[in-house]
Amino acid sequence: MRTAFQQELDARHDKYERLVKLSRDITVESKRVIFLLHRITSTPDMEEILTESEIKLDGVRQKILQVAQELLGEEMHQFHRAITTGLQEYVEAVSFQHFIRTRSLISMEEINKQLVFTTEDSGKENKTPSSDAHDKEFGTWRLRITPVDYLLGVADLTGELMRMCINSVGNGDIDTPFEVSQFLRQVYDGFSFIGNTGPYEVSKKLYTLKQSLAKVENACYALKVRGSEIPKHMLADVFSVKTEMIDQEEGIS
């Protein structure tokens, strides 16, 4: 009996370590997608970047498929801590791509629809299908993003949108900052409704979200008031100066 318990605990520990490694891979690959998407502001062919990002996201989803196979028959919440960082980064990457395409926020349901895998998807990684009878018959695996992972990923998205604003302004695009500002305001209002009633991690992200919104709104104000008199090659300075001022004020308070 003692040996059986020991084997079960060892197997669970090994599974946890495999999930941590997969989560790390998902995080790295998702960050690469985000870096790629930032090139949108400086390239004339936006569709080429979006197509390449979709290919990379498919690669990330193959890693998530491996996570789904590891968790088959397990209680996900027992292993959630091992995979949450990777899932948050994936949400950030896929929502960033969706915003660039549609100027809107992707829903949690849409993300989860992309995380339903078939035996054909599994074949891409040459994985052996699970021995579970039901799964073998229908050949499907799924992983559901939790509401907390979704919210934390969206909160991190706001920082990437602020960077996209800076890059856009640097290239003479003064429309994107106003579109992003309006979007960030809506996201911030949504998070404000949650306030301190949600999980601790979500309320902690609210402060960072507010910083991103303030920086973009202040720069938009300067562009609106002085945009016509600022040379295009100096527009990026509007963001850097406003950012420094806000950071100094926050340091004083």
Of the chain, the percentage scoring pLDDT greater than 70 comes to 82
**pLDDT score of 48 more than 90:** yes
Among residues 188, 169, 187, 147, the alpha carbon closest in space to that of 233 is found at 169
Q: Kindly list the distances between the CA atom of residue 71 and the CA atoms of 16, 28, 132, 154, in Å, as whole numbers in the listed order.
A: 10, 21, 12, 24
The answer to whether residue 251 is domain-embedded is no
Of 144, 179, 211, the domain-final residue: 144
- Rounded to whole angstroms, the Cα distance separating 64 from 62 reads 5
pLDDT band at 231 (very low <50, low <70, confident <90, very high): low
Q: How far apart are CA 39 and CA 20, in angstroms?
A: 30
SS3 116: strand
76 vs 235, more confident:
76
Q: Are residues 175 and 219 in the same domain?
A: yes
Residues 185 and 232 in one domain: yes
Residue 245 domain-assigned?
no
Total domains in the chain come to 2
Token digits of residue 234? 């100096």
| pLDDT computed for residue 137 by the predictor | 41
pLDDT (0 to 100) of residue 73: 87
Asked if the structure places residue 125 within a domain, the reply is: no
Q: Is 92 annotated as a binding residue?
A: yes
Residue linked to tokens 């809107």: 104
3-state helix, strand, coil in the chain (%, to 5): 80, 0, 15
Q: Which domain holds residue 29?
A: 1-119+140-144
Judge if 98 and 2 occupy the same domain. yes
Q: What is the CATH number of the domain that holds 169?
A: 1.20.58.200
**pLDDT, tens digit (0-9, with 9 covering 90-100), for 98-155:** 999 999 999 999 999 999 998 776 666 544 443 333 444 457 899 999 999 999 999 9
In a shared domain, residues 101 and 34:
yes
How many Cβ atoms sit within 10 Å of the Cβ of residue 179?
15
114 and 190, same domain (yes or no): no
Considering only CA atoms, which of 101, 102, 220, 232 is closest in space to residue 162?
Answer: 220
Same domain, 188 and 98: no
Which has more pLDDT, 178 or 201?
A: 178
Give the mean pLDDT of the chain. Answer: 84
Q: Report residue 7 as tokens.
A: 């084997």
CATH of the domain at 44: 1.20.58.190
Q: What pLDDT was estimated at residue 233?
A: 61
- The mean-pLDDT minimum among 37-46, 124-133, 143-152, 214-223 falls in 124-133
Specify if 9 maps to a domain.
yes
What confidence score (pLDDT) does residue 36 get?
96
Asked if residue 28 belongs to a domain, the reply is: yes
51 in Cβ contact with 36 (< 8 Å): no
For residue 118, the surrounding DSSP H or E stretch is strand 116-118
- The pLDDT value given to residue 180: 94
Domain membership flag for residue 131: no
Examine the domain organization and report whether 18 and 114 are in the same domain.
yes
Which of 111, 144, 177 is the last residue in one of the domains? 144
Handedness of CA 46, 50, 52, 56 (dihedral sign): positive
Query: In terms of pLDDT, which residue wins out, 36 or 135?
Result: 36
Tokens of 86: 């990777």
Residues 113 and 1 both lie in one domain: yes
Has 74 been labeled as part of a binding site?
no
Task: Say if 130 falls within a structural domain.
Answer: no
Answer yes or no: are the C-beta atoms of 206 and 158 closer than 8 Å.
no
Query: What's the CA gap between 215 and 167, in Å, rounded?
Result: 14
Q: Are residues 7 and 102 in the same domain?
A: yes
Q: Assess whether 107 and 207 both reside in one domain.
A: no
Q: For residue 116, what are the β-bridge partners?
A: 142
Of 83, 110, 144, at which residue does a domain stop?
144
Out of 6-10, 34-38, 119-123, 234-238, give the one with best mean pLDDT.
Answer: 34-38
Q: What is the pLDDT of residue 122?
A: 65
Based on the domain organization, do 98 and 165 belong to the same domain? no
Q: Do 93 and 163 have their domain in common?
A: no
Residue 193: is its pLDDT beyond 90?
Answer: no
Q: Among 69-83, 130-144, 168-182, where is mean pLDDT lowest? A: 130-144
- Tell me: pLDDT of 92 over 50: yes
In a domain, 132, yes or no: no
